[in-house]
Amino acid sequence: MKKFDYDLDYEQLDLRKHPELYRVGRGEQGVLLVQPYKNEILPHWRFKTPDIARESSEKIYAMFLTYKEEGDFIGMDMARKFLQMGYTRARRYTNYKGGRKYAENGSLSIRKGDPQKAESAAIFKEAWERAKTDPDYIRMMEEHRSKYEQ
């Protein structure tokens, strides 16, 4: 498995037209770089309240399914990454006020629970789990890796 390539000019590169350059990477790698998907998905990514998180995760999961219908693995993977990032960011805001893990002096911030953000995180986690365990997603990821990441 090849690593995600941070040296590409993602602002100019349309990975829908050049899927051979896309690397799955680990976790959320590239989520805010890969075009045109970043511009398609990012406007829908929100987690401030559980209602907003529910609407956001449902929209992004619907996009995941649309990409799947179109046979667009990269779109599916990017939607999966945004769902994962919804979970991880909401968890960070659950644990740390303002989402800041470290204080300005570099010390670890005091952990405080935010039940709303915890619920938002759970909503995103459920959608992320559905996406990452989708049999077609798994098959298409394996196909992409065997075709382009050898």
> What tens digit of pLDDT does each residue of 78-107 get?
999 999 999 999 988 777 666 566 667 776
Residue 112 lies in a domain: yes
Whether residue 48 lies inside any domain: the answer is: yes
Distance CA 63, CA 118 (A): 24
d(CA 88, CA 66): 24
CA distance 26 to 5: 11
**Domain tally for the chain?**
1
For residue 126, the enclosing domain spans 32-148
Q: Are 80 and 128 in contact (CB under 8 A)?
A: yes
Measuring CA to CA, which residue among 137, 114, 142 is closest to residue 127?
137
Eight-class DSSP state of 14 = B
Does some domain include residue 38?
yes
* Structural domain contains residue 125: yes
pLDDT at 94: 79
Among 2-6, 22-26, 40-44, 102-106, top mean pLDDT goes to 40-44
Which residue type is seen at 119? Answer: E
pLDDT digits (tens, 9 = 90+) for 121-144: 999 999 999 999 999 999 999 999
Residue 138 lies in a domain: yes
The answer to whether position 71 is within a domain reads yes
Q: Model-level pTM?
A: 0.88
Q: Dump pLDDT digits (tens) for 30-69.
A: 899 999 999 999 999 999 999 999 999 999 999 999 999 9
CB 66 within 8 A of CB 12: no
Q: What percent of the chain has pLDDT over 90?
A: 69
Task: Please indicate, yes or no, if residue 90 is contained in any of the structural domains.
Answer: yes
In a domain, 119, yes or no: yes
Q: How many other C-beta atoms can be found within 10 angstroms of the C-beta atom of residue 13?
A: 16
